[in-house]
Chains A and B, each alone.
Chain A
Amino acid sequence: MAEPFWLSLRKQFTPIHLLGHAVLFGVGLVLLYPLIFMILAGFYDKNEFMTTVLRVIPIPEEPTLANYRALILGSKDAAVSTYMTNSLIRTAYNTFWALLTSFLAGYVFARLKFKGREQLFLIMLATQMIPGTLAIIPTYLEFARFPFAGGNYIFTGGTGILNTWWVYLIGGPAINIMGTFLVKQSLEKVPIELDEAAIVDGAGTLRIIFQILLPLQLPIMAFIAITTALGTWNDFITPFFYTNSDKLQTLPSAITRISSVGASPGAVINYPLIITLSLGITVPAMLIFFFFQKYIVQGLANTGIKG
C-alpha cells in the first residue's frame, strides 16, 4: 500500500533533508541568477545601464520595454524575425539530417560486416579530436572553391557558395559522428536474433531498420535530436564566417555582429539590447532542455554510457 502523502512530506522535514533542500535551493539560485539578471537588464536604457553601478538584482530607475519590443518586433538594429526564422529553419534541417545520418551510419557499423569497418569507424571517431576552430579556414576555402558556383570556373574565380543558403544546406548536414557512435553502441545491445526473426517473417532490410530497430532507439534518437538542435541553435560560427548578408544571419551571429562592431573605435555598445536578444537564444534552448531532459538521460543510459 502506498505511503500517505503527509507521511512522505513529514519525512522531508528531517534535518538532513532540510539541509539537502537548502543546498539544492542555493545551487539552483546560483544557476538561475544569470537568467534573472538578463531578464531585468532587458528593462534598462543603454545610458542608464552604462552609468549606474548595478546592484545584485538590477532594477532600472526608468524601465523601458524598447529592448523587449526589439526582441519580439525587431528594430532598426536587428531584423529579429529574419534571424529567428533562419535559426529555426537551420535547426530543423540539421536535426533531420543528423537523425537520418546517425541512424543509417550507426546501423551500418553495428550490423553490417565489411572490410575495413573498424578502421573506418576509428577514422570517423578520430575526426572528433580536431578542435572545431581549426576547421574554420579550411571550410571557408572549401566553400569559396566550390566548383561551378558563385562564378567559379571549376574551383576558382568566384566566391563559390559563400554567402548563400547553400552554406547551410550543404555545410549543415555533416555526418553526426557522436550520434553514429551512440546509435552503434545502442544497436549492438539489440540481439541480432531480432533481425533474423524479422527476416524469417518476410521483412526486408528497410522494414527491419525503420519498423523494428528504429522504434527501439527512440530515446537515443531524441538525445541526438536535442543535442543537434541545441548545437545548431547556438551556433554563430557558420553564419558569421561563411555568410555576409543580413538576410542570412541567425540570432547568435547577429548578436555577435552587433557586439563586435560595437567594440570598434568610437562605437557605443547597446548592452541591454544585446542581453535581451540573447534571451531569445537562451530561453528556447533552456525550454528544450527542460522538457526533454529525461530523454537525454534515457538516451545515454541506453548506450551504456553512464556516469
Chain B
Amino acid sequence: MRFKRVFITILALLLALGMAACSSGGGGNSNGADGGSNPSGGAGGDANSGNSGDSGNAGGSGSDGAVTIIVLNEGAVGIGVGVVSDLLVEKKKGLMEDETLTPRVKEEDFNYEPGKTVNPHLFGYLYQQIINEKMKEKNIVLKTEDWGWGEPLIQKQTAGFLAKNIPDIIVGETQMPGFAQQGLLEPFPDDMADYIRENIAPAAWKPMEYDGKIYGFAAQPGVSSLFWNKRLVREAGLDPDKAPETWEEFAANLRAVTEAGKGKFYGGGVYAGPNFGGYLRFGTLLVINGGGFADDQGYPVFNSDANVETVTFLRELNGYHPPGLMVNTNEGTYFDAFKKEQIAYLIDGPWRAAESAALGIEYGMATIPLSPDGQPGNITIGAAFHAVPKDAKNKEAAFEYIRAMYSEEIQQLIADTGVRSPVLKSVAENGDYQAKHPEMYQHYLAMAGNVQGLPTFAKENSKVWQIFGDAVAKAIMTKGDVRQILDDAQKSAETAVK
C-alpha cells in the first residue's frame, strides 16, 4: 500500500527530527533573531576564521583589528549582558533614574577620584568602566554573558567545556579548583604568577593554585568574619562593642541572647547546612581548631579528634537557634533570619557588613573566636575566581583582563567602596586605607593569613561532600555519638574515593 510507505517515511523523518535533531543540515545561518551574539562567536580569533580576518560573527570587532573577548558575569560587578561600552551608557541612565536606591545616585557620583569614598551602588559601573578603558588601550573589546551562578552555571560550564564552546574568561566559586585539576584551565603565564605571589593576598589565588601553577584569580575574595546585631546583644545585657574571642565566650554570649530573646530572637552562631554554603561557614571553625576536610591528596579526614570536638561544639550552638534553622538546606533562610533580627550572631563573608548597613542593622564585625588550642585560620568565601579556559579563543587578551583585575586602579576602587577588602598589598597596607576602613583592614589581614579553599576530593567529589554534610547535620540534630557518626562518614567516604 502506497500510503503505508508514505507514512512510515513520515514517521521515520519525525523520529529522526525529534530524537536526533541534527540530520537536516538546514540551519545554515546561525544568526537567527540575534545576529552576532554567539557565545564564542564574538571572539575575533574564531577558530574557523583562521587568519582570514573576522568571521562575520565577531560581535563588535571592526576592521581595526580589535579583539573581542567574552567574559562571564558575576553578580557583584555585573552591569548587564552585551558589549560593555554600550552597557555603561544604559547602566548610568538606569542608576540615575532609579528612585529605589538609597542614597540616590547623582551625576557627580560618577566623577570618581581614587582615594575618595564611592557610592556603593556605583561599584559595578565604575569597575566595568575602569576595566573597559584598560582593555580599550590594548585594543580589546569587552563583551559579557550571563550564565547564572551555582549549580546551573556549573552544568552549563561543563557542557561548554565538552563542546569546546566556552567564553574567554569564565567565573565561578567552588567548582573552579576542580576545573583546574581536570586540566580545563590555562595556567597563568610565569611573569603573572610571580607578580601575584609577591604582591597579592593569598586568598585571591591560593585556592586556585595546583601543581605549582596558578589557574585563577579573584579581585575581591572574602574570608568569613563574625557579625552580630548590636541591638539584640544590648538587649541581652552584653557589651555590644565587645566581640567574643574564644569559643567559650562565644557560646556564653549566644546563650545569654537566646535567654533574653524568650523565643522572639536567638543567639545564632553559624550556618551548618549540608551544602557548600554550610561547609564554607562552619569549615572555618574546623580550620581554626586544627581540623579539616581532606589531606593533600584529596582523601577525606572527617573523623579527626579536632573535627569531633568542633562538631560537638556545633551541636551546642544548635541549641541557640530556632529549631531546624542551623542545618536548613536553604542557606538563604539562615541569613534571612539575621536580616530579620531573629538571630544575633553569625559567621559570614564581608558583604554582610554593607548589606546590614543598607538594611539599617546596627552591626559589629570581628575575627572569628578561637577554640582553646586554636589558631587563626579561615576559608575563602564569596571568591568569584576568574580563569582562562584551555579552549578560550583569545587567551592573551583574556590574561590582559585578569591583569586589569589586580591593577592599582581596580584595587583602589574596591578599597574606596569599603564593601570588600582589596587584595593588592600596596593598596591594602596603605596607612590611609587602614585608617578609613579599620574593619575591612582586619578582614584583609585575615585574608593574608592561614587561608584555604574548600578541597576537591580525589574521586566522587560531590558524593563525598554530601556524605560529610549529612554526617554533620546528623551529629547536630541527633543525640548520637559524634565520633561514631563521623567514623561512619569517614568509612563511607573512603569507600567512595577508592
Contacts and interface: CB of A to CB of B under 8 A. Distances in A.
Interface of A: 45-47, 50-53, 66, 76, 101, 104-105, 107-108, 112-114, 124, 127, 136-137, 139-153, 156-166, 170-171, 173-175, 205, 240-241, 244-248, 256-257, 260-269
A263 B7 contact: no
B135 to A, nearest CB: 20
B147 to A, nearest CB: 7
B305 interface: no
B358 A47 contact: yes
B40 interface: yes
Contact of A66 (B100, B149, B351): B100
Given A151-B46, A171-B21, A158 B30 contact: yes
20 contacts: A104-B10, A114-B8, A137-B159, A140-B162, A150-B27, A151-B38, A159-B30, A159-B41, A163-B34, A163-B39, A165-B32, A165-B34, A171-B21, A173-B17, A174-B21, A175-B14, A244-B37, A247-B34, A260-B150, A269-B332
A147 B24 CA distance: 9
B3 A205 contact: yes
Nearest to B82: A246
Interface string B37-59: 11111000011110000010100
A47 B102 CA distance: 11
B15 interface: yes
Given A45-B100, A51-B341, A148-B28, 10 more contacts: A47-B359, A76-B98, A127-B19, A145-B22, A163-B41, A173-B18, A246-B81, A265-B173, A265-B383, A267-B76
Contacts of B90: 76
Contacts of A45: 100
A257 B148 contact: yes
Contacts of A205: 3, 7
Given A262-B75, A265-B351, A256 B148 contact: yes
B48 A142 contact: no
Interface in B1-37: 3-4, 7-8, 10-11, 14-15, 17-22, 24-34, 37
A124 B16 CA distance: 12
A159 B40 contact: yes
B207 interface: no
Nearest to A170: B21
A260 B38 contact: no
Residue of A174, A244, A265, A269 with most partner-chain B CB within 10 A: A265
A149 B156 contact: no
A166 B159 CA distance: 18
B146 interface: yes
Contact of A174 (B19, B48, B173, B359): B19
B148 A240 contact: yes
A157 B48 CA distance: 5
Nearest to A174: B18
A141 B148 contact: no
A247 B37 contact: yes
A166 B73 CA distance: 25
Interface in B327-381: 332, 336, 339-342, 349, 351, 355, 358-361, 381
B164 interface: yes
7 smallest A-B Cβ distances: which pairs? A267-B75, A265-B382, A175-B18, A164-B32, A266-B76, A150-B30, A264-B75
B94 interface: yes
Contacts of B287: none
A104 B39 contact: no
Main secondary structure on B side of the interface with A:
loop
Nearest to B355: A268
Residue of A143, A150, A256 with most partner-chain B CB within 10 A: A150
A145 B163 contact: yes
B41 A52 contact: no
B181 interface: no
B48 A163 contact: no
Given A66-B100, A104-B14, A261-B74, A164 B31 contact: yes
Contacts of A149: 27-30
B222 to A, nearest CB: 7
Contacts of B14: 101, 104-105, 175
A263 B41 contact: no
B165 interface: yes
Nearest to A109: B11
Nearest to B222: A265
Contacts of B342: 53
A263 B81 contact: no
A164 B222 contact: no
A164 B34 contact: yes
B384 interface: yes
Nearest to B147: A244
A163 B57 contact: no
A140 B160 CA distance: 8
Contacts of A174: 17-19, 21
Interface in B129-185: 145-150, 152-153, 155-156, 158-160, 162-165, 173
A147 B120 CA distance: 47
Nearest to B151: A260
Contacts of B100: 45-46, 66
Nearest to B55: A151
B48 A53 contact: no
Contact of A159 (B15, B39, B336): B39
A162 B28 CA distance: 12
Contacts of A261: 73-75, 78, 146, 148-149
Nearest to A114: B8
A247 B82 CA distance: 11
Nearest to B6: A205
A182 B78 CA distance: 47
Nearest to A265: B382
B29 to A, nearest CB: 7
A52 B360 CA distance: 12
A108 B22 contact: no
Contact of A151 (B26, B34, B41, B82): B41
B33 A266 contact: no
Contacts of B26: 170
Contacts of B20: 142
A256 B147 CA distance: 10
A217 to B, nearest CB: 16
Given A108-B8, A137-B158, A163-B38, A265 B74 contact: yes
Nearest to A270: B100
A264 B34 CA distance: 27
Contacts of A266: 75-76, 220, 351, 382, 419-420
